[in-house]
Amino acid sequence: MKEKISIDEFDDKKFNARFADENDNRKAVITHYLHNYHNGVKDYFQEEATEYIKQIVDYKNEEEKLNVVEEDALQQLLFEVEDVPFRTPENYSFQFIDLFAGIGGFRLAMQNLGGKCVFTSEWDKSAQKTYRANFGEVPFGDITKKATKNQIPKGFDVLCAGFPCQAFSIAGKRGGFEDTRGTLFFDVAEIIKEKQPKAIFLENVKGLRNHDQGRTLATILNVLRNDLGYYVPEPQIINAKDYGVPQNRERIYIVGFRNDLGINEFEYPEPTNQNVVLEDILEQNEVSVKYYLSNQYLSTLKAHKSRHEGKGNGFGYQIIPNDGISNAIVCGGMGRERNLVYDDRLTNFNPVTKIKGDVNRESIRKMTPREWARLQGFPDNYIIPVADASAYKQFGNSVAVPAIQATAEKIINLLDL
């Protein structure tokens, strides 16, 4: 039996204490190296990755008196990275990077179209866990750091980013590249300037269009078009409900092509006109009692809604009919109560009280994390390795995969990749 070694070895406290001065992206470097082991991108991460693997092998042999061989460790780590639900397409036709990656909605869409991800970044540790479980990679962390940007390979085709919306300090200025400093868009623009991808695909909340009285979006377009040299058609609001998922979710998409490619027109995808309703994505089997609202909580929601009805300052609650579509799911707050459903299949007793008396008699429950995943177009073999609270946040923060894929397909077709 060979001694076992895993990516998780790099979380060992004694190991990290010994190498405290090392880059905190150690697991990201190694998993990116392994994920690209069978192509040229491997070379970009190889020097650092092989040094880190040697460190952990030497540490394990010294601390635990093992006899781990580096080549065996490499093969075990390689298997671990590749033994995931969503591997790179074998005959991929283009390369992309995934910034502000969340849990990989962009990546799912791009891989479905034959793309290979060569770099990903996401600072949230819980989202990193979910990303790794499904794609085998640990995303790099803070993209605002120079050390993180330096890890991005050259020569990729498409930059994908769902960056947060921030205001710029542009009073009395023309609203150019320098005026975006201190914002996350500046970091995206800096990467575009340095790496010169053929195309860019940015996603943001609908409110970006009117953010700071329209100055934020105007600055972004000015930077992309005039400072960075990209053809950028007018951004478009895309609604997830038009692309095969029962969720009323509007987001702004910004697409761009490097000017030297000679692309000067782009058409966003037409709605697919699929008649998908909530019933199509609800759990087929009885769900846990924990998702049902208690009588007391349901009464609280009703009272709150009654007090604030028509005042515009109360979320209230909303029950979505089975033949309807959900409201947009959100990452925090009380978003789960805006998408309640009727479900009278509950037969199990409450495991805490041993009775059903505290479950509301109207059989109203919250949607499950798996149902939220389906609202965003994530397939059922997508692994949810985190607790419900984190899962709701992650899916609420994510992108609607079918809408992203429909738009990305238009981009890839124009690039002829």
Mind spelling out the 3-state secondary structure of 103-130?
Answer: CCHHHHHHHHCCEEEEEEECCCHHHHHH
27: which 2 tokens? 């697991």
Three-class secondary structure of residue 359 per DSSP: strand
How do 199-205 and 236-239 pair as beta strands?
unpaired
Cα–Cα distance for residue pair 341/1, rounded to 1 Å? 52
165 is an active site residue: yes
Of residues 120, 127, 181, the one with CA closest to residue 152:
120
Placement of tokens 């409900």 in the chain: 241
Cα–Cα distance for residue pair 218/170, rounded to 1 Å? 11
Placement of tokens 């997508």 in the chain: 382
| φ, ψ dihedrals at 202, nearest 5° | -110, 145
Dihedral Cα 149, 155, 158, 162, nearest 10 deg: 0
User: Distances in Å between the alpha carbon of 75 and those of 7, 32, 34, 79, 114?
Assistant: 12, 15, 9, 6, 26
Report the first-to-last Cα separation within the chain, whole angstroms: 45
Q: Residue type at 389?
A: A
91, 72 Cβ separation under 8 angstroms: no
User: Distances in Å between the alpha carbon of 378 and those of 106, 119, 199, 244?
Assistant: 11, 21, 24, 12
Three-class secondary structure of residue 165 per DSSP: coil
Cα–Cα distance for residue pair 140/147, rounded to 1 Å? 10
The catalytic residues are 165
